[in-house]
Chain A
Amino acid sequence: MLTYEYDRSRFTITESKQERDVEIHFHCHQEEASVHQAFHRMRQYFDGNDVITDVLLYAHAHEEYHWIVRDDFYVEFVMSLFKHKLITSVAWS
Chain B
Amino acid sequence: MDQQAWMAIGIFLIIYALIVSEKIHRTIVAMIGGLLMVGLGIVSQETAVHHIDFNTLGLLIGMMIIVGITAETGLFKYIAIWAAKKAGGYPVRILVVLCLVTAVGSAFLDNVTTVLLMVPVTFSITRKLNVTPIPYLISQIMASNIGGTATLIGDPPNIMIGSAVKELTFMAFINNLSLIVFVILIVTIPFFILIYRKQIQTTEELRLRILDLDEKDEIKDPALLRKCLAVLGLTIGGFFVHQLVHLESATVALAGAFLLLLLTGEHYLEEAFRRVEWTTIFFFVGLFVLVAGLVETEVIAALADYAMGVTGGDVAKTAILILWLSAVASAFLDNIPFVATMIPMIQEMGTMGITNLEPLWWSLALGACLGGNGSLIGASANLIVAGIAGKEGYPISFMSYFKIGFPLMLLSVLIATVYIYFRYLI
- Interface, chain A (partner B; CB < 8 A): 21, 40, 44, 47, 50-53, 56, 58-61, 66, 68
**A68 and B214 form a contact (CB under 8 A):** no
- With A52-B120, A59-B217, A60-B212 known, 7 other A-B pairs at CB within 8 A are A40-B220, A50-B391, A51-B391, A52-B388, A53-B393, A56-B123, A60-B214
A33 to B413, CA, bound (A): 54
**B220 and A52 form a contact (CB under 8 A):** no
- Pick from A47, A50, A53, A61: contact of B127, CB under 8 Å: A53
Which 5 interchain pairs have the tightest Cβ spacing? A59-B217, A59-B214, A52-B120, A60-B212, A53-B392
Chain B residues positioned under 8 Å from A52 (CB to CB): 119-120, 123, 388, 392
Q: Which of B364-402 contact A (CB under 8 A)?
A: 388, 391-393
- 29 CB < 8 A contacts A-B: A21-B127, A40-B220, A44-B220, A51-B391, A51-B392, A52-B388, A52-B392, A53-B127, A53-B392, A53-B393, A56-B123, A56-B124, A56-B127, A58-B124, A58-B128, A58-B209, A58-B213, A59-B213, A59-B217, A59-B218, A60-B209, A60-B213, A60-B214, A61-B212, A61-B214, A66-B128, A66-B209, A68-B127, A68-B128
Which chain A residue shows the least CB distance to B393? A53
A84 to B256, CA, bound (A): 38
A53 to B120, CA, bound (A): 8
Which chain A residue shows the least CB distance to B122? A52
A47 to B127, CA, bound (A): 16
A56 to B402, CA, bound (A): 31
Chain B residues positioned under 8 Å from A50 (CB to CB): 391
> Taking the nearest CB of chain B, how far is it from the CB of A20, in angstroms?
8
Which chain B residue shows the least CB distance to A21? B127
> Taking the nearest CB of chain A, how far is it from the CB of B384, in angstroms?
13
Residue from A44, A51, A52, A61 having most chain B Cβ neighbours under 10 A: A52
Q: Which of B104-156 contact A (CB under 8 A)?
A: 119-120, 123-124, 127-128
The DSSP consensus for interface residues of chain B is helix
Q: Which of B182-226 contact A (CB under 8 A)?
A: 209, 212-214, 217-218, 220
- Pick from B123, B212, B213, B214: contact of A53, CB under 8 Å: B123
> Taking the nearest CB of chain B, how far is it from the CB of A33, in angstroms?
13
A86 to B154, CA, bound (A): 45
> Taking the nearest CB of chain B, how far is it from the CB of A3, in angstroms?
26
A40 to B218, CA, bound (A): 9
Which chain B residue shows the least CB distance to A64? B212
Chain A residues positioned under 8 Å from B220 (CB to CB): 40, 44
Chain A residues positioned under 8 Å from B213 (CB to CB): 58-60
A59 to B391, CA, bound (A): 26
A56 to B77, CA, bound (A): 12
A76 to B212, CA, bound (A): 28
A36 to B13, CA, bound (A): 57
A1 to B393, CA, bound (A): 24
Chain B residues positioned under 8 Å from A68 (CB to CB): 127-128
A66 to B391, CA, bound (A): 24
> Taking the nearest CB of chain B, how far is it from the CB of A82, in angstroms?
23
A61 to B81, CA, bound (A): 14
A52 to B120, CA, bound (A): 6
Chain A residues positioned under 8 Å from B119 (CB to CB): 52
- Binary contact track B308-348/A, C-beta < 8 Å → 1, others 0: 00000000000000000000000000000000000000000
Chain A residues positioned under 8 Å from B124 (CB to CB): 56, 58
Chain B residues positioned under 8 Å from A60 (CB to CB): 209, 212-214
> Taking the nearest CB of chain A, how far is it from the CB of B72, in angstroms?
10
A45 to B50, CA, bound (A): 45
> Taking the nearest CB of chain B, how far is it from the CB of A70, in angstroms?
9
Chain A residues positioned under 8 Å from B128 (CB to CB): 56, 58, 66, 68
> Taking the nearest CB of chain A, how far is it from the CB of B229, in angstroms?
21
Chain B residues positioned under 8 Å from A59 (CB to CB): 213-214, 217-218
Chain A residues positioned under 8 Å from B217 (CB to CB): 59
A50 to B391, CA, bound (A): 9
> Taking the nearest CB of chain A, how far is it from the CB of B275, in angstroms?
14
Residue from B119, B123, B209, B217 having most chain A Cβ neighbours under 10 A: B217
> Taking the nearest CB of chain A, how far is it from the CB of B219, in angstroms?
11
A66 to B214, CA, bound (A): 11
Chain B residues positioned under 8 Å from A61 (CB to CB): 212, 214
Chain A residues positioned under 8 Å from B212 (CB to CB): 60-61
> Taking the nearest CB of chain B, how far is it from the CB of A75, in angstroms?
19
